[in-house]
Structure 1
Amino acid sequence: MAFMTRLSRLMRADLHAMLDRLEAPDLVLAQAVREMEQTLERDRRALARQERERARLGDQKAALESTLRQTAEALEDCLAAGQEDLARPVVRRRLETERRVGQLQQRLRELEVDCEARRQRLAEQESRLADLRARAALYQEMVEPEEEVYRETWPASSDAVRDADVEVALLQAKRQRGAAS
């Protein structure tokens, strides 16, 4: 059984090595950057939706608080006039409005916590994206100079020194040496 395990591990390693050679690191980095940008944009839109929802709920809360003030005044008027029959529906409406305000406040707190968590995630994602972009740029800089150095240090075959050129240069050197003596 140990032999089979070792053999399967060797096959997986060979397969992974072959896949590593087939992958183009610059393309993989570019794809990772694109995916992170898409995720970041999707999260930004979700945060904007949550903030719009929070603003809408804040407006509803303000309207309900205005209703509470009106019902308090109406209740005061009913009690001042001794009209308990008229005061009961006002009290009911006030209680319902107070419950609704409590629910809205709870939802607003939840949204605020969610928004803050999403803002933190966005900041982390933006940091990771900037880091990945820097790595991609560094990789690009590493790849491009290697290609240039390769072109500069390895002359093309047309620039190669031929045997005939060596012989001619040797004859010229002998002639100059003979002329100098």
Structure 2
Amino acid sequence: MALITRLSRLFQADFHAVLDRIEEPDIQLKQAIREMQIELQQNEQRLALLQHEAEQLSNLASDCKNKIVAFDEELDICFAAKKEDLARDLIKRKLETTRQFESTERQIATIHSSTKKLESGIEEYRDQLENMNQKLELLVTDIDSHPLSGHFSSVGAGVRAEDIEIAFLREKQLRSPS
């Protein structure tokens, strides 16, 4: 089964290679540029979402920090008043908030790491897109300066009117009944 799959992929790749040679390269390049632009936009949207999520998590971490400070102040008051039952409840809430804070900080670190990778990937993708645009400009300029160079370059090249007339007479002679 794996052999059939590999052969199928090989034939498909060869077929695509033949089609690529037949089709006009400028159209393929334009399509590749469009696909790259779409991919770049999607990556920029992902980056914006990650940045928004990091901002929300930072706000949550800040809230957790403030709650922990408030719990410490309340614990001081509880211990001063010798209210150990109330202090235990506050310690439980403080521990939960501390764990939430630590989890949030880990998430923020992960998002910052992902953001940096995505930013560098976007920058590389922009460079590649710029290269593709330059290649397209060169290709379009080349096609414009040589309109028939890439298309039918050997057809009609060097054919004189006399050659056409001689070939016409030969064809006519071959087809006429003698």
Q: Place the TM-score, normalised by the shorter chain, in its bin.
A: 0.7 to 0.9
Matched, 1:93 2:93: yes
SS, match of residue 64 in structure 1: helix
Number of aligned residues: 138
Distance in 2 (alpha carbons) for counterparts of 1:51 and 1:135: 33
Distance in 1 (alpha carbons) for counterparts of 2:26 and 2:80: 80
The residue aligned with 1:56 is 56
The residue aligned with 1:75 is 75
Distance in 2 (alpha carbons) for counterparts of 1:72 and 1:90: 9
The residue aligned with 1:114 is 114
SS, match of residue 147 in structure 1: coil
Distance in 2 (alpha carbons) for counterparts of 1:17 and 1:93: 65
Q: Please show how residues 7-46 of structure 1 align to structure 2 within 5 Å.
A: 19-46=19-46
SS, match of residue 82 in structure 1: coil
How big is the shift at 1:147? 2.6
Q: CA RMSD in A?
A: 2.2
How big is the shift at 1:19? 3.0
SS, match of residue 146 in structure 2: helix
SS, match of residue 119 in structure 1: helix
How big is the shift at 1:148? 9.2
Percent of matched pairs sharing the same residue: 28
The residue aligned with 2:104 is 104
Matched, 1:65 2:37: no
Distance in 1 (alpha carbons) for counterparts of 2:109 and 2:134: 38
What is the letter of the counterpart of residue 127 of structure 1? Answer: D
Unpaired runs of 5+ in structure 2? 1-10, 150-178
Task: Render the CA deviation track for 1:111-132: whole Å, top value 9, x for unaligned.
Answer: 0000000001000000000000
SS, match of residue 96 in structure 1: helix
Q: Which runs of 4+ in 1 moved over 4 A?
A: 14-18
Distance in 2 (alpha carbons) for counterparts of 1:20 and 1:70: 68
State the structure with more CA Rg: 1
Distance 1:15 1:126, change over 3 A: closer
Higher helix share: 1
The residue aligned with 1:47 is 47
How big is the shift at 1:94? 0.6
The residue aligned with 1:126 is 126
Distance 1:20 1:86, change over 3 A: closer
How big is the shift at 1:82? 1.3
